[in-house]
């Protein structure tokens, strides 16, 4: 799928144009050759340096290693590599040549396979009404079903939290101009958006491919949840909140009695921090147990398989 279709959904790389480099363009056939050739640009120049006498096998190895070096740098590369290769025995050169040939063959095979894959891939084309209908027949039922499950999950979670967890005033002390509280357990669950029709429309406009016909895989979209497991997770978390609320009262009540308002304020902050630990743990668990948000549908549509 073309990256430009989703440029407003995911961050894109910087559009800054890279400056043209003056470094030579090269592709190394073997790490040893790479090390030797790097010396061309790291070693200081010596106008009086002599190119060492080389055996034919050494010459052949260097020529193979620098075959893809920019012609403007090839002479310098040859000279510098000659100094590094000169001490190498025939056995070392033979091993290096064998590795270089193997690597070159693998590169050629890889390039051939990549070209074959590109040639076999369907070419981009204008989307037809039939393509759009084909896509919509896949994603619309999934979006609507998932949205219905999300709504049911939201209602279930919110009802259980209200039944098991303390309200805002349960663990709060207040008087004339002051209030110290443990805080609310959590925001209401709201996985489902307000309008499923808008979800379908957005998917068609922003997520569906525009360069051909695709099949989407929605197998990772969760279409159900275990009510017993969700119920147990909420009850366990709310029981923990009650325990922490009572501990808050045990700490803050003596401070209020002494009118130690600074101490009461610190006790409130500590209690709210402890509550947040429970809150975040429950949210994490519900994210695992519930049907999840729209992200799996989005990922499936962004990673469809091109068929025509």
pLDDT digits (tens, 9 = 90+) for 61-78: 888 888 888 888 888 888
CB atoms within 10 A of CB 163: 11
**What does the buried/exposed string (b/e) look like for 2-30 if buried means 16 or more CB atoms within 10 Å of the residue's CB?**
eeebbeeeeeeeeeeeeeeeeebebebbb
Residues 1, 303 contacting (CB under 8 angstroms): yes
3-state secondary structure (DSSP) of residue 179: strand
| Cα(79)–Cα(224) distance, integer angstroms | 70
pTM, two decimal places: 0.63
What distance lies between CA 18 and its chain's CA centroid?
25
Q: Which of 4-13, 90-99, 162-171, 272-281 has the lowest mean pLDDT?
A: 4-13
- The count of other CB atoms within 10 Å of the CB of residue 294 is 19
Confidence band of 269 (pLDDT split at 50, 70, 90): very high
Backbone angles phi, psi at 173, to 5 degrees: -120, 135
Q: Give domain limits for the chain.
A: 23-120, 129-306
For every residue of 242-259, DSSP letters joined together read HHHHHHHHHHHHHHHHTT
Higher pLDDT, 217 or 98: 217
Contacts of 53 (CB under 8 A, 6+ apart): 86
pLDDT class of 243 with cuts at 50, 70, 90: very high
pLDDT value of position 49? 54
């Amino acid at each position: 799928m073309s990256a430009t279709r989703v440029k407003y959904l995911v961050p894109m790389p910087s559009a800054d144009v890279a400056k043209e480099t003056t470094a030579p363009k090269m592709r190394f056939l073997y790490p040893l050759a790479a090390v030797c050739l790097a010396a061309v640009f790291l070693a200081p120049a010596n106008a009086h340096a002599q190119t060492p006498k080389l055996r034919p096998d050494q010459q052949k190895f260097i020529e193979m290693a620098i075959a893809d070096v920019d012609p403007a740098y090839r002479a310098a590369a040859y000279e510098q590599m000659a100094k590094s290769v000169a001490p190498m025995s025939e056995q070392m050169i033979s091993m290096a040549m064998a590795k270089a040939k193997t690597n070159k063959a693998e590169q050629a095979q890889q390039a051939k396979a990549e070209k074959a894959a590109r040639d076999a891939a369907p070419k981009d084309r204008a989307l037809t009404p039939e393509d759009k209908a084909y896509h919509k027949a896949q994603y619309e039922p999934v979006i609507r079903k998932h949205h219905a499950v999300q709504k049911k999950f939201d209602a279930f979670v919110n009802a259980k939290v209200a039944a098991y967890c303390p309200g805002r005033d349960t663990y709060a002390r207040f008087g004339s101009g002051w209030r110290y509280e443990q805080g609310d357990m959590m925001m209401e669950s709201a996985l489902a958006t307000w309008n499923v029709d808008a979800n379908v429309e957005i998917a068609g406009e922003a997520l569906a491919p525009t360069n051909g016909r695709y099949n989407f895989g929605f197998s990772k979209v969760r279409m159900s949840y275990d009510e017993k497991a969700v119920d147990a997770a909420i009850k366990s978390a709310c029981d923990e909140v009650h325990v922490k609320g009572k501990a808050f009262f045990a700490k803050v009540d003596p401070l209020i009695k002494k009118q130690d308002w600074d101490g009461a304020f610190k006790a409130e902050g500590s209690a709210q921090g402890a509550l947040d630990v429970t809150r975040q743990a429950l949210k994490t668990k519900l994210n695992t147990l519930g049907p999840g948000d729209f992200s799996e549908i989005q990922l499936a549509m962004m990673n469809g398989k091109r068929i025509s």
